[in-house]
Amino acid sequence: MPAPSSPLPGWTSFPFSSSSTTRDVLRRGSGPGVLVMPEIPGVTPAVAAFSDRLVAEGFTVWMLVLFGDVGRPMTPGYAISTIARACVAKEFSALAARRSSPITDYLRALARALAKETGGPVGALGMCFTGNFALALMVDDAIAAPVLSQPSLPFPLGTERRRALHVSDDDLVAIKKRVAGGCSVLGLRFTCDRAVPAERFERLRAELGDGFEGIEIDSSPGNPHGIPTKAHSVLTNDLVDEAGHPTRAALDRTLAFFRERLLSA
């Protein structure tokens, strides 16, 4: 029977159901698994290009279709309309400081399915709206390599939300136990990104200690690489794929993190 088609060349698509939720998942590659949870507005060409890099590194990649149209390029209007729909969807809790979005239960089941298919623990990478989902998934042993790229939830409105992690207190206890057991966390942000305030990474360092590796890329006015102060998407839209550029270094470190945590094992 032929594999289901996908709008992306080289990728196949399948539906995954759990917790009364069904979503399409894009699949490609072989080797240890990495679950990619795209940023707003969805699986854009830039997100697909990042996932293709993971495939080339020797990973099985599952990209979840959470928002938008697969393969549609990002535009400001497209992003605004997508985030407006996401903010009112029951699956997400964009302002919740001390609990995860309801979609997290579905994501944990999806990660377990990927781990079962690939025969071992998997990586999880969230971006922007989904950034802290990778942290919430750590309560499950299926996750061995969580990456938080510009984790933007909860929206940083008020002092508490600026330092909040979008996980419950009980989940944070479980996450800290996982870190103490050797499951480290990688985080990425631009220093002037208003959606991902410095207080959030300070909180991650305070809670996780040496188990949190935070990469903060200088986007202040006059920075040596000319990175705009509005830069947000470290691995996709604001990536400058040139040797020596800090965003390329962040990409290289992300790939190395997955290799160390998954391929070595």
Q: Would you state the pLDDT for residue 7?
A: 79
Parallel, antiparallel or unpaired: strands 12-18 and 21-29: antiparallel
CA distance 240 to 116: 35
Q: Which pair of structure tokens corresponds to residue 257?
A: 């993190």
Q: Which pair of structure tokens corresponds to residue 63?
A: 């990209």
pLDDT tens string 104-120: 999 999 999 999 999 99
pLDDT tens string 10-22: 999 999 999 889 9
Q: Pick from 176, 240, 252, 178: which is nearest to 215 by CA?
A: 252
Backbone angles phi, psi at 140, to 5 degrees: -100, 135
pTM score, whole prediction: 0.95
Q: Would you state the pLDDT for residue 1?
A: 35
